[in-house]
Amino acid sequence: MKRDGNKKSAWQTEEGFENSTINTLDIVYDVLVVGGGITGVSTAYRLQRAGKKCILAEAHNLGFGTTGGTTAHLNNFFDTPYNQVESDFGKENAQLLAYGAQLALDTIKENISENNIDCDFTEHTAYIFSLDDKQDESLQKLVDSSNELGVEMGFINDSPFPIPYKRIASVPGQAQFHPIKYIHGLARAFVTLGGVILENCRVEKTDDGDIITAHTPKGEIRAKNLFYATHIPPGVNLLHFRCAPYRSYAIACTLKDGKYPQALGYDMDDPYHYYRTHRIDGMDHLIAGGEDHKTGDEENTENCFRKLEAYVRKYYQVDKVAYQWSSQYFEPVDGLPYIGNLPGNPDNYYCATGFSGNGMIYGTISSLLISEMIMGATSAYAKLFDPSRIKPVAGFHDFVKEAADVVGHFIGDRFKFEKIDSIGELSPGEGKLVKHDGHQLAVYKDESGKVHGLNAACTHVKCIIAWNSAEKSWDCPCHGSRFDHEGTVITGPARKNLEKLNVQKE
Ligand SMILES: Cc1cc2nc3c(=O)[nH]c(=O)nc-3n(C[C@H](O)[C@H](O)[C@H](O)COP(=O)(O)OP(=O)(O)OC[C@H]3O[C@@H](n4cnc5c(N)ncnc54)[C@H](O)[C@@H]3O)c2cc1C
């Protein structure tokens, strides 16, 4: 199974999806779901089960996006703490969010049992620990607000994690699974119900109408509704200015003393570290994550793995780091995701984005909400997650900060180019922004010594891309578009490849 990065995630030992779908493009579908991560597969399954005729188009393979690089903790609490949601959106909405999380957990369990999906699903208690006084204050607020909303959380005296803490709270009823086994299982159920899956089928553009026509390399797909389950919608949209791209790092390692925690764990650092155990190919592995940063902000992304590993080694007797990988997520400016009608588009276009590090749950909530909207039902969640919402207070400061960051990247990154006399100065495997012969270029020298030159302006809104040395991709710090070393789009929102420049001759 392929993923959108150079590093191998712990889930990539899975084979690709065995697709028995028959390619039928001569009918009008009720729904075209674009994207084969947890959001797309869960929604396509739900709609097909409800009697809608659905087709799912995935640009690469199922699980290629962040779902293939997640750590798959399943929680009824979120990165945005309930106390913050309550103060920004009101208690009623915080309560709705808490119900939604539980509903999503129950839906995942139901999907698994209804379809006998063997995806290593297990339930555990989660532990959240503060490391200093300031974090402890935040933890107290989190515990108080969660309990008020009926999310059970309480301080305890013992920890299954060998990490010193100030105080620790336990949260029963959490879970974990193998994300790829889960989406493959759901995709099989979808196909059995008559759903169609087309892999290697990027939706390149669409024509609006009561019946939308989507243009793909496999032909035109016609559907009454289109749902962009693409993690961030493609093209230029209001939502790109309300979501900021971040990268998080994970390692899966074996332990010398075999003391694997049978629990989910989180500290309250910013960015926080997260832990759990998973049996991969018959062997237990500790999966630890953290070292998050804004996309493009870290010059040496390999270094983030080294820092994460060093941190984990301080507390665990690490034997071997078997897998290490990183992936991208989108942080919404006001702390809640955007799920519903795609702003600035006709009513039959839908989207779901801004999931922070909680996309297993928000992807599942999206499957419930988008299905209800397409089926014409009303949902209490439509208003809370409305992508066109304007919250003058919630997220205003973050909005200004993110907008300033984008402007900073737009202008500042133009001075990042290093002047080099000869492209030969690059080392094999190195990517750099360079000024050469009066041109500003993004250049990468592959292991065979071949130099690949690209126009460094992202094709989305012309921000300057940055080299991600670990995942070997050109990443846009403004809105998260990613390109391979030949300039081909890996993930949107950009739709167009980077312009290739012939540097060999120069
Ligand atoms: C390191 C890391 C750890 C995380 N851990 C957790 C966790 O423990 N728990 C949790 O709940 N969340 C976690 N998250 C967040 C979660 O993994 C994501 O929010 C979630 O996987 C997003 O799923 P998705 O289906 O919306 O998007 P994706 O999985 O990114 O899927 C989108 C798909 O759309 C396809 N696509 C894009 N454009 C097109 C197009 N034009 N045509 C056709 N196909 C297209 C892509 O190829 C891709 O496969 C984590 C995130 C990271 C980065």
Could you list the pLDDT tens digit for every one of the 506 residues in the chain?
999 999 999 999 999 998 877 768 889 999 999 999 999 999 999 999 999 999 999 999 999 999 999 999 999 999 999 999 999 999 999 999 999 999 999 999 999 999 999 999 999 999 999 999 999 999 999 999 999 999 999 999 999 999 999 999 999 999 999 999 999 999 999 999 999 999 999 999 999 999 999 999 999 999 999 999 999 999 999 999 999 999 999 999 999 999 999 999 999 999 999 999 999 999 999 999 999 999 999 989 999 999 999 999 999 999 999 999 999 999 999 999 999 999 999 999 999 999 999 999 999 999 999 999 999 999 999 999 999 997 645 555 555 556 656 655 655 565 566 656 667 778 898 899 988 777 779 999 998 888 999 999 999 999 999 999 999 999 999 999 999 999 999 998 999 999 998 876 44
Of 502, 399, 412, 429, the C-alpha closest to 464 is 412
pLDDT at 490: 96
Closest CA to 105 of 173, 40, 42: 173
Q: Kindly state the tokens that stand for 9.
A: 């995630």
Q: Which residues pair with 227 in a beta bridge?
A: 33, 350
Write down the pLDDT at residue 506. Answer: 44
Kindly state if the Cβ of 212 falls inside 6 Å of ligand 1.
no
Atom in ligand 1 nearest the alpha carbon of residue 39? 25
pLDDT of residue 20: 76
DSSP, collapsed to helix, strand or coil, labels residue 323 as: strand
Return d(Cα 268, Cα 68) in angstroms, integer. Answer: 25
* Inter-axis angle of helices 91-114 and 133-148, nearest 10: 80
> Does 351 sit in the ligand 1 pocket, CB within 6 Å?
no
Q: Which residue has the tokens 């159920």?
A: 189
Nearest residue to 251 via CA among 182, 184, 319, 183? 319
Quote the pLDDT of residue 482.
97
pLDDT, residue 416, reads 64
Q: Which of 70, 200, 330 to mutate to test the pocket of ligand 1 (most atoms within 8 A of CB)?
A: 70
Q: Where are the alpha helices (DSSP H) in 260-358?
A: 301-315
Q: Which of 355, 362, 468, 489 to mutate to test the pocket of ligand 1 (most atoms within 8 A of CB)?
A: 355
CB neighbourhood size of 38 (10 A): 31
Residue in the block written with tokens 């100065």? 425
pLDDT (0 to 100) of residue 440:
78
User: Measured between alpha carbons, how far is 375 from 100 in angstroms, rounded to an integer?
Assistant: 19
Angle at 47 between CA 44 and CA 49, to 5 degrees: 105
Cα separation, 65 vs 74, in Å, equals: 18
The Cα–Cα gap between 470 and 6 comes to: 7
CB 11 within 8 A of CB 178: yes
Count CA within 13 A, CB hemisphere, residue 286: 29
Q: Distance of CA 487 to CAs 101, 204, 326, 459, 500, Å?
A: 38, 16, 20, 10, 7
Looking from the CA of 308 toward its CB, the CA atoms found within 13 Å total 29
pLDDT of residue 47: 98
Q: Do residues 2 and 46 lie in contact, with contact meaning Cβ atoms separated by under 8 Å? A: no
Amino acid at 332: P
Please say whether the beta carbons of 352 and 370 come within 8 A.
yes
SS3 state of residue 378: coil
Q: How far does the centroid of ligand 1 lie from the alpha carbon of residue 506, in Å?
A: 39
Instruction: Tell me: cis bond preceding 493? Omega within 30 of 0 counts.
Output: yes
Buried b (16+ CB within 10 A) or exposed e, 59-87: bbbbbbbbbbbbbbbbbbbbbbbbbbbbe
38 ligand 1 Cβ < 6 A:
yes
Residue nearest to atom 4 of ligand 1 (CA): 70
Query: Distance from the CA of 160 to the center of ligand 1, in angstroms?
Result: 29
Q: Does residue 275 contact residue 284 with C-beta atoms inside 8 Å?
A: no
493 lines ligand 1 (CB under 6 A): no
